[in-house]
Structure 1
Amino acid sequence: MKTHIALYLRNFRHQLAYLDALPQLTFLALLAGVATGTVVVGFRLLVDLPLLSLPEHIDNFEGLPQSARFWLPLFGATALGALLMWLPSRRIKVGVGHVLDRLHNHQGHMPASNFFVQFFGGITCLITGQSVGREGPSVHLGAATASFVGRWLRIPNNSMRTLIGCGVAAGISASFNTPLAGVIFAMEVVMMEYTIAGFIPIIISSVTGAIITRAMFGHDHSFVIAHSQLTSLYEFPFMIVIGIGIGLSATTYSWILRSSLSVAHWPMVIRFAIAGGLTGLTALVFPEILGLGYDTIEDAIAGNFSLQLLLAIALTKLVISSAAIGLGLPGGLIGPTLVIGACLGGAFGIIGQSISGVHSDGLYVLIGMTAMMGAVLNAPLAALVAILELTHNPNVIFPSMMVVVIASLVTRRLFNADGVFLALLSAQGHNIDSNAPRRELSRIGVLSVMNTQFVVSDPVLECDDAHQLLNNQPLWIIFENPETQSLNALRAADLASFLDSAPEKVLTLEESIQLAELPGKRLAIYPIHDTANLLEAHQLMKAHNAEAVYVERSHRPVVGTSIVGIISRDAINNHYKVH
């Protein structure tokens, strides 16, 4: 029975090495969606249950006594810093930036220690009122959960890339209750590409995550607004002003966040204490900055804030949230950008209404949310879809498209600012090279390209043994070079050519055949594991200035060789040209 299961899993992994492994990827996506949805629901429950003790409703930090609004974030951040300061710096990297780094530079292998730091650190931040969001942690938890599923099944690294995207989509879907936005976010922000082969598995995973979260929390959308719409096209010039204003705000947010990284060498407990102290001090005057802030968005939509208060909340939330995340708190920034955008949009709506009589019945709040999220993340499509799913109001799309484009142009072209996650990685010394050749090679597993027409031989052969080797019609002969103690690959055609004109002493068995001394092309080959992709094979060849690598099983068999194939540089080049 175990033998049959092992054989099935081996064939399953082999099929995943190909570009068209859609049925296998769909099955994995379902597993990742179930696992991620369960983890994110557990994360949300552990956050929501303590917050039930807040006055009136969850996230109502405004109802706390003034002293509690100061001490809760200060104590929570300081205690968290005191706990995490004992861990190595590589173990406390969390968030969307960490996911991008692991996906693009480490084949999607997510460390378990960082998962637990994100899980419990994110919970601590959210229940102590830090000015951060839960969506960033959900992305990390989803990606890590999917990575654990893939590593448990030992799937090839080319499929791990898609599986990480599935986890990200399910994480966003389970956190936001927005399955389509989860798909777009995963492909636009994390995978940085749109492929037909990736869409179906990611959609399956995102829908699965949404089903699980809706089964637990219901399926009501977050923000209710009347089906308002623009009353006149004359409002569009004002939309340009809004886009410029929010673009400047998004640029400022990213700048403060990056600037806060300059003190990353300070002890963690001090950095966290500063973040908590700033949050607590500001909350003495503006408690709306505490927590997720979704109740603040609802108040902005309902028109419960004055112009001065909207601007004050937007400014303080912008400064405190960006500084807190830059100082290292393990929280997200998507939620804060929505709050900032909502307040800015509401403020612009009030200004427009006072100047020209434009209507501001919550529509401008949603426009601001879309533009701020899209400009900060450099993900306009994900922002548009997220707001559509959160409100179920299609009227927001038409004006939001214009505003988010202008805001994105201000950040990208006027200030030459990348999306905040890429900017963070760059500031930390990590670069993501997502050019087309790398992406293409990373999608293909070595098992799908390797040549299996080879034989493993002793370095010294008799003539009869050489003929016996060639009876199997191999293309390559692999042997250990006695001088270098490393494996070499010899073309079988070169051995056949030698035998056709072999010296008399070789034919009469007076002399043996030294494979390392035969005329012909011998390649020094280096090992690569069977879960690798073509990008890893290419990088290994480049590192050793080699022309070929041999693929070996992750687990050495009891009998026989662990080598399962050989890949030459020409094979990689030819495969890339074909595809």
Structure 2
Amino acid sequence: MWCAHPLILRVTLLSLIVSLLAAGSVLLFRYLVEFIQIAALPEHQIGGYESLPGWLIFALPSAGGLLLGLVFHQLPLAMRQVGILHVLLRMRAKGRVVIPGKNTLLQFFAGIFAIVCGQSVDREGPGVHLGAGSGAKVANLAGMEEAEGRILVACGVAAAIAAAFNTPLAGIIFVIEVLEVAYQSLRFLPIMASAVLGALLGRFFYGAAPAFNVPALIPFPIAEMGYLLLLALVIGLLASGFIALVEFVNKYSRNWSPLYAFTLAGLITGLLGQLAPEILGVGYDSLSRILSGELLLYGLLAILACKFLATGCAIGLRVPGGVIGPSLLIGGTVGAIMGTLLGSGEHFAIYPLVGMLAMMGATLQAPLAALAALLELTGRTELILPGTLAVVSADLISRVILGRVSVFSALARLTKS
């Protein structure tokens, strides 16, 4: 027999098709968001909502939320389900994983519109849906059985994460920790292959440089490790509070029409944007400024408070975007505040770097994915020890001590109730 595992070989070959579709759709999504931002914003740059006049900072997310709500209000309830939560619920359900094509198409265009209008959400949440939709579509066309179909859905998600962030390892771990796919070495080969191909496609179009420009780092001193534990304590409490805010908003708005929910989310973002316009959109441009130490303490405090509230309300009100990007900005801002107040100047950049991945890990309850992303996003092995200390400690506080589930599990629990 020429092949000992013909089914795994077939799934692996199909996973390459899934990777092309998933990574291609994610990269097209990113391109369209950036193209519109560059074409429409005054300074013709990605992000840069701070350059808008105050009235437009309020009007853009408010009007965008209203228009998005009008569209969703006209759609059947089943078609409105988008994002990582939708994928997680489909993965948890018994039987074959079905990701309707209409929902995936809606996620593509609604996600672009939400981000361009300044809603406080990210592009990675839509990317996970696009990747899962690609895997489910190929599995259906190929007539795959339930188990193999689930692998192809996971392949699409891994490829999407890898292409979006240039983080193949984090993409692989993401499907284990967030989508709860059980690890089996042989069956994970297609998922690993998909992540590699997704990352290669991302590098082809956007280059191989790490996603964030990190200044030169020197080894983190043992004397400041206590400060990192304090940072982890704050991050753990903040992540728990963020999940509680999302739960609270979602619980009391579950029966609202999208027209009211999205409009309210836009109004909240527009009002908070008057204090901190950096919160509009994904916020990666603001995160880059934070890492380079450009923002003063009062600006960091304003971004932290406003981004926390705007994103918590947007996710709770079901705006069609993701939470990964905002969690990075929130954590990076906390780290920058701690670094400004307590850290020494030569180690400042380590605090926001560690903070942003600790917040992501505690919010998603994906500490291994956060650690992998920390290394892949920065390309700095010096961050292994301080990063592990902060990520693990923050997750312990949020999950073990305070008893929080991940933000997606919290929303899934409310959906079933």
The question of a shared fold, defined as TM-score above 0.5 by the shorter chain, is answered with yes
Partners of 2:5 and 2:89 in 1: how far apart? 23
User: Structure 1 pair 231/40, CA: closer, same or farther in 2 (3 Å)?
Assistant: closer
Q: Does 1:157 align with 2:143?
A: no
Query: Out of 170, 188, 192, which is 2:159 matched to?
Result: 170
Asked whether 1:409 is paired with 2:409, we answer no
Partner AA of 2:290 in structure 1? A
Q: Which runs of 5 or more structure 2 residues have no equivalent in the other structure?
A: none
Match of 1:239? 228
Instruction: Tell me what 1:364 maps to.
Output: 351
Where is the strand percentage greater, Structure 1 or Structure 2? 1
> Within 5 Å, which residues of 2 pair with 1:348-427?
348-353=338-343, 357=344, 359-427=346-414
Q: Distance in 2 between matches of 1:108 and 1:230?
A: 46
Q: Output the aligned Cα RMSD.
A: 1.7
CA distance in 1, matches of 2:312, 2:275: 19
The question of whether the paired residues in 2 share the 8 Å contact of 1:143 and 1:167 is answered with yes
Matching of residues 564-575 of structure 1 within 5 Å: none
Within 5 A, what are the aligned runs for 1:463-542?
A: none
2:113 maps to 1:124: yes
Deviation of the 1:19 alpha carbon: 8.3
Corresponding residue of 1:85: 73
Rounded Cα–Cα distance in structure 1 between residues aligned with 2:407 and 2:158:
19
Alignment equivalent of 2:253, drawn from 255, 263, 266: 263
Q: Is the 8 A contact 2:228 2:351 kept in 1?
A: no
The residue type equivalent to 1:101 in the other structure is L
Runs of 4+ in 1 over 3 A off after TM superposition: 357-360
Residue equivalent to 2:16: 30
Shift of 1:229: 3.7
SS of equivalent residue, structure 1 residue 368: helix
CA-CA distance at 1:56 after TM superposition? 4.4
1:48 pairs with one of 16, 22, 34:
34
Alignment pair present for 1:213 and 2:202 = yes
CA distance in structure 2 between the aligned counterparts of 1:223 and 1:42, rounded to whole angstroms: 20
> Which residue in 1 is equivalent to 2:173?
184
* CA distance, structure 1, for counterparts of residue 288 and residue 187 of structure 2: 35
Which deviates further from its counterpart, 271-280 or 217-226? 217-226
Query: Partner of 1:99 in structure 2?
Result: 87
Matched, 1:283 2:276: no
The amino acid of 1:118's aligned partner reads: Q
Q: Which residue does 2:307 correspond to in 1?
A: 317
The residue type equivalent to 2:7 in the other structure is A
Matched letter for residue 412 of structure 1: R
Moved more, 216-225 or 200-209: 216-225
Higher Cα radius of gyration: 1
Structure 1 counterpart of 2:354, one-letter code: I
CA shift digits 1:4-55 (9 cap, x unpaired): xxxxxxxxxxx9xx98732112111111101111211221222121111221
Within-5 A mapping of 1:57-72: 57-72=45-60
Amino acid across the alignment from 1:28: L
Aligned match of 1:228: 217
Shifted more, 312-321 versus 138-147: the winner is 312-321
Q: Counterparts of 1:187 and 1:221 in 2: how far apart (Å)?
A: 23
User: Could you say which structure has the greater relative contact order, defined with CA pairs below 8 angstroms and 6 or more residues apart?
Assistant: 2
1:207 CA drift (Å): 1.5
The 10-residue stretch of structure 1 (198-207 or 122-131) with the greater mean CA deviation from structure 2: 198-207
Tell me: CA distance 1:192–1:351, structure 2 relative to 1, closer, same or farther (3 Å).
farther
Asked whether the equivalents of residues 265 and 313 of structure 2 are also in contact (C-alpha less than 8 Å), the reply is yes
TM-score (normalised: structure 2): 0.95
Amino acid across the alignment from 2:12: T
Structure 1 SS opposite 2:178 = helix
State how 1:139-158 maps to structure 2 within 5 Å: 139-158=128-147
Amino acid at match of 2:396: L
Partners in 1 of 2:209 and 2:220 — Cα distance?
Answer: 28
| Kept in 1: contact 2:158–2:175 (CA 8 A) | yes
